[in-house]
């Protein structure tokens, strides 16, 4: 049973509302559903998990949902056992009592530091590297999600392709556009709204709660819904992950942010615009350019340039008006390419499968 590494513990400290916990919750569900693992998800903020999994009770210290045991990670949380695989998500630092318990376990558990997603080439060289603990007889392995076979891949369920074929909505060029908006408060939302309001055809903008809706309200004033010319602005309540995936599938263009929604927009195969998490000294723009270079693959076509330029403008590095116009003009070609891009990414092993196979070799 030890060789099967049946028991997995995932530790998640919430940093940005839903990004970190969104990745961890999706990974935990997949490990349980597709790989038969007994997964415990340790989360320090259940209020951030609850919108993603409405069935949980934020007042409970321990509960189960969709095959995953969920524990509220507090300073006084009891450590009754350690997993055979421990995932320390995004360098969140394991609690000292848990680390101590790991040293008393034989054989030693497989300890993974799951890193943030990046397209930078250096991640391929660092993927899988071992890091001995400076004072304890433990080894931690750095595991990088990514866009190539030299990394751990991206989160993708086995049923993704079948569900996409069944549920994706093909664009209706005569019925206007459906656009989803999920962004940080630094996005030029007001400028986008003004551009959309100038449209000569119907646009339905589906706005996520939180920062996106706050930005819309700041620009358009208080309201429940807004109409500006042929633009309808339609807020939606927070959606569980599977329902959000369906929103991405049925929209014609998706504005996404961070990591989880960014990956899901790529699997949707629709035109998307990514806002990367802002970092000090504009360090995030290096990461943005690394992805754009990998995504465009050196293509110098109007569609490739339009997609790249809009991503830069949305991250405050260009002329949004020009970029939006070019993007709309090239949208059919961008949609076709993004379907091909998703198919290419799917040739790589998915992140959950990569983790399972990697950890087996570390027994």
Report the side by side order of strands in the sheet with 231-235: 226-228, 231-235, 203-207, 177-181, 253-257, 272-275
Distance (Å, whole) CA 93 – CA 188:
35
For this structure, is 20 an active site residue? yes
Question: Which residues is 64 bridged to in the sheet?
Answer: 69
Select which of 84, 88, 259, 326 is catalytic: 259
Parallel, antiparallel, or unpaired for β 130-132 and 38-43? Answer: unpaired
DSSP-derived secondary structure letter, 90: T
What does the chain come to in residues? 363
Task: Determine the 3-state secondary structure of 200 from DSSP.
Answer: coil
For this structure, is 245 an active site residue? no
Report the side by side order of strands in the sheet with 130-132: 62-65, 68-72, 38-43, 7-12, 85-89, 110-114, 139-143, 130-132
Select which of 20, 115, 289, 326 is catalytic: 20
Distance (Å, whole) CA 314 – CA 77:
42
Report the catalytic residues. 20, 259
């Amino acid at each position: 049973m030890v060789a099967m590494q049946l028991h997995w513990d995932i530790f998640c400290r919430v940093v940005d509302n839903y990004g970190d916990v969104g990745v961890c919750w999706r990974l935990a569900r997949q490990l349980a559903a597709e790989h038969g693992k007994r997964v415990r998800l340790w989360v320090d903020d259940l209020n951030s998990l609850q919108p993603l999994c409405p069935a949980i009770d934020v007042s409970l210290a321990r509960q189960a949902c969709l095959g995953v045991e969920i524990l509220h990670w507090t300073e006084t949380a009891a450590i009754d056992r350690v997993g055979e695989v421990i995932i320390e998500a995004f360098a969140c630092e394991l609690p000292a009592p848990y680390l101590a318990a790991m040293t008393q376990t034989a054989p030693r558990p497989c300890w993974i530091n799951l890193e943030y997603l990046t397209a930078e080439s250096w991640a391929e060289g660092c993927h899988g590297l071992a890091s001995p603990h400076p004072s304890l007889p433990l080894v931690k392995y750095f595991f990088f999600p990514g866009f190539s076979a030299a990394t751990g891949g991206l989160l993708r369920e086995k049923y993704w392709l079948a569900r996409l074929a069944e549920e994706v909505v093909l664009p209706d060029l005569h019925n206007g556009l459906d656009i989803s908006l999920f962004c940080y408060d630094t996005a030029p939302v007001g400028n986008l709204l003004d551009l959309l309001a100038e449209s000569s055809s119907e646009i339905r903008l589906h706005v996520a709660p939180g920062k996106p809706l706050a930005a819309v309200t700041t620009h358009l004033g208080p309201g429940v819904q807004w109409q500006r010319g042929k633009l309808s602005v339609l807020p939606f309540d927070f959606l569980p992950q599977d329902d959000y995936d369906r929103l991405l599938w049925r929209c014609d263009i998706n504005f996404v942010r961070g990591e989880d929604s960014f990956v899901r927009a790529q699997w949707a195969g629709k035109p998307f615009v990514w806002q990367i998490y802002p970092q000090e000294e504009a360090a995030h723009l290096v990461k943005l350019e690394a992805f754009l270079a990998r995504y465009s693959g050196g293509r110098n076509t109007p569609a490739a340039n339009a997609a790249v330029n809009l991503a830069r403008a949305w991250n405050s590095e260009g002329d949004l008006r020009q970029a939006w116009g070019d993007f709309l003009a090239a949208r059919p070609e961008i949609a076709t390419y993004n379907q091909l891009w998703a198919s290419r990414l799917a040739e790589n092993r998915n992140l959950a499968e990569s983790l399972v196979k990697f950890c087996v070799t570390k027994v």
